[in-house]
Amino acid sequence: MTSKPLVSSRLRWNRGYLRTSTVLTVGALLLLSLFMAFPFVWMLSASLKVPKTAFSIPPQLWPYEWRWENYQQVLFHPTVPIPRFFLNSLNIAVLVTLGQLITCTAAAYAFARLRFRGREVLFVVLLTALMVPAQVTIVPLYIEMRFFKLIDTHAALILPALTNIFGVFLLRQYLLTIPDELEDAARMDGAGPVRILLQIMLPLIGPALTTLAIVVFTGTWNAFFFPLIFLNDWQKFTWPLGVTMLRGQYSQNSVTVIMAGITLGVAPVLLAFLVLQRRMIESIGFTGGIK
C-alpha cells in the first residue's frame, strides 16, 4: 500500500532500497492518523445522514442517503441563530486581534527601542501577569464587569483582551533582533519614533505579527469559558457557546443537525489550515517557545 510513493525519485530517498522499519513506521503513523482524524470523519459523515441512520449498526461512514437538508435546517433554524453566532465570533475575534496587534506593537517598540526611566522594572512587573492564570481571577473580573455594566455585552470579552503581555513580550524579543543601524540612520534623517515604527519596523516584524495574529485569532475564535461566563442572551452567543447550547435545544436523535452545525464551524478552520498550514504550525510552535 505504501510502497509506491516510497520509491518516487522526487522524494529525498537516497538509500535506494526499502527498509522494513520505514514501512512499519509509516504503517503505524497511518493507523495513528486514522485515530486522530476519526472524530472529524465521523462528524462529517453524521452531518450528512438521515437522523435515524446516524447510529446504524454496523456503523456506516459513507451515508446511505445524502441529506443536505441538515445544513439548511441548522442555518435557518427558527430559534437558534447559527449564522448570528458566526458573525459574533468573527466580530469579536477580528476586533481583539486588531486591537492586540496595535497595542502590543506600540508597547513592544517602546520596551525594545525607546529609553525611559523605569523601563526594565516595568517590563518585569508586567511579565508577572503571565504567571497569574486568567481563570483564577474570573470571579473578581465578573464583579468588575458588572460594576462597569458590561455583563451580557461583547465588550466584556473584547476589552480585557485588547492588550496582551505575552504579545508584547513576543514582539519585543523579535524587535531586539533587528540591528540598531537602520533606526539610527532614519533618526538622523529626522524621523520621529512613530514614523520609524510605522515605516521601518512594521515591515520588518511582519512574521512576528502574523504569528501573533494567528495565535490570538484562533484562541479567541475557540474561546468557551469567558463567553459562557459573560453572555446570557442567545443573540450575542459566540459560535462555540452557541453550538454547545444547540445540543440542549434538540432531542437526542437530532444528532445529524448538530453535527451539521459543528461541521459548518470546523470547515473554515480546516480551509484556513490547508492554505496557511506551514505558517500556522510554525506560529503555534513558535509561541510555545521553540526558539
Asked if 36 touches another protein (CB under 8 A), the answer is yes
Grid cell in block for residue 171 = 514582539
Binding status of residue 46 toward another protein by CB under 8 A? yes
Residue span binding another protein (CB under 8 A) among the ranges 63-71, 90-98, 116-124, 198-206 = 116-124
95 is an interface residue for another protein by CB under 8 A: no
Give the sign of the dihedral formed by CA 208, CA 212, CA 217, CA 218.
Answer: positive
Closer CB to another protein, 75 or 284, in the complex: 284
- CA–CA separation, 281 and 291 (whole Å): 14
Query: Residue with C-alpha cell 465578573?
Result: 142
Determine, following the binding rule CB under 8 A, whether residue 247 of this chain makes contact with another protein.
yes
166 sits near another protein (criterion: CB under 8 A): no
- Alpha carbon distances (Å) from 115 to 111, 118, 180, 190, 193: 8, 9, 13, 17, 11
- Determine the interface stretch with another protein among 22-30, 64-72, 74-82, 198-206 (rule: CB under 8 A): 22-30
H or E element, residue 45: helix 20-47
Please tell me whether residue 175 binds another protein under the rule CB under 8 A.
no
What is the full DSSP assignment across 84-124?
HHHHHHHHHHHHHHHHHHHHHHHHHHHHHH---TTHHHHHH
Among 72, 180, 273, 275, the residue binding another protein under the rule CB under 8 A is 273
Least separation in angstroms between residue 93's CB and another protein is: 12
The answer to the question of residue 255 lying near another protein (CB under 8 A) is yes
**Binding residues for another protein, total number by CB under 8 A:** 101
Q: Does 163 bind another protein (CB under 8 A)?
A: yes
